[in-house]
Amino acid sequence: MEGENIKNMKKLRFGVVGVGYLGSLHAEKYAAIEGIDLVGLTDIDYPRAQAVATKYSTKAYKSHEELLHDVDGVSLAVPTVSHFEIGREILDQGIHLLVEKPITLTVEDAEALIQLAKQRNAILQTGHIERFNPVVMEMESLISKPLFIESHRLHPYTNRGTDVDVVLDLMIHDLDIILHFVNSEIAQIDTFGMSAVTGKTDFAHAAIQFANDTRANFTASRVSTESVRTVRIFQPDSYISADYKNRRIGVTWFEPEGAKGDDLPRSEHRDDEFRGCDPLADQIRSFVESIKNSTEPRVTGLDGKKALSVALSIIEQIQRKGETIG
């Protein structure tokens, strides 16, 4: 009887709205998951949707409205300006939503999506992919009392992500991670930003003091000559150095002077490297499992809203101080 019930269980059906660079990767990951159906995808560029659909043996829909009739869950990977409008349509039909970061363009719109998801009993997950990086997951077990954090996210210029400035494009990843780790109100923010090529802020720095006395410096650039994604965390008893890009982490633990019966401080160091992982696939599998088990996603809509709120405060301060130079 139990085997018959499993056999007759309906497969969860998924779709992707927006199949540019990132959305096409979402389609690839869904197509590779056993036990679910990638029923279709859509894009404002219909020939592109057809090409991606053919590649992953699924259907190209001419509009997201048509797609929503046939799915239980959706990845939304359209330009940020459309996240709220389309996201609202998806959630209003009780369809589970994985929305790429930033969740929306305004905190008010993010809150509206969160409340709508609750009303419709739908999962709302924000696509902060770095949370599924094994380095970040390892750091969670190492964080105790961070005192000072230094984060760098630098990239060469590309056309992707330029619908928003560098804070919403890149820095928001690190804001989400550190807000998750520190879990304290923000007492003060100081910023600097400048434009180089887009007319928006392309380089930004933010120094944040939290109410629990943790200090964090964030630097983000999309006009660098190299790609760097690193964080350093100083704690009373340890120092953590992590490389998100190369998935490496180093940890040094300190012992007080005299702990071994002499006057010399002692330390222990460990290096780890994570190979063969796929954070995007893990993110999408996590979304699927949240739906199957009716559990809260690893990165909630509220997480997306918190990171957005701080990012917008940084942007507002840069603009208010008139520091965007270009």
Q: What is the pLDDT of residues 227-261, one digit of tens each?
A: 999 999 999 999 999 999 999 999 999 886 655 55
In this prediction, residues 309-322 reach a mean pLDDT of 93
pLDDT tens column, 101-119: 999 999 999 999 999 999 9
Chain-wide mean pLDDT for the chain?
93
Token readout for 213 is: 């006395």
Centre a 10 Å sphere on the Cβ of residue 120 and count the other Cβ atoms it contains: 16
pLDDT tens column, 14-42: 999 999 999 999 999 999 999 999 999 99
Place of tokens 């999506």: 113
Assess whether pLDDT exceeds 70 at residue 60: yes
Contact 38, 30 (CB under 8 A): yes
| Angstrom distance (rounded) from CA 111 to CA 211 | 24
Closest CA to 189 of 168, 216, 150, 154: 216
* Coil/strand/helix, residue 102: coil
Exposed, middle or buried: residue 292 (CB in 10 Å: 0-12, 13-18, 19+)?
exposed
Query: Bigger pLDDT: 200 or 239?
Result: 239
Confidence (pTM): 0.91
Range list of β-strands (E), the chain: 12-17, 36-42, 59-61, 73-76, 96-100, 124-127, 148-154, 186-194, 203-210, 215-221, 228-235, 238-243, 248-255, 266-273
Assess whether pLDDT exceeds 60 at residue 6: no
Of the pLDDT bands very low, low, confident and very high (cuts 50, 70, 90), residue 182 is very high
Q: What are phi and psi of 289, to 5 degrees?
A: -65, -35
In this prediction, residues 282-302 reach a mean pLDDT of 97
Superfamily of domain 2-127+281-299: NAD(P)-binding Rossmann-like Domain (3.40.50.720)
Query: Bigger pLDDT: 325 or 285?
Result: 285
Contact 198, 312 (CB under 8 A): no
In this prediction, residues 178-184 reach a mean pLDDT of 95
Give residue 5's pLDDT.
40
Domain ranges across the chain: 2-127+281-299, 131-277+309-320
Residues above pLDDT 90, as percent of the chain: 85
In this prediction, residues 139-167 reach a mean pLDDT of 91
Give residue 265's pLDDT.
65
Its CATH architecture, for the domain 131-277+309-320, is 2-Layer Sandwich (3.30)
Of 17-21, 137-141, 261-265, the one with minimum mean pLDDT is: 261-265
Give residue 322's pLDDT.
75
Of the pLDDT bands very low, low, confident and very high (cuts 50, 70, 90), residue 199 is confident
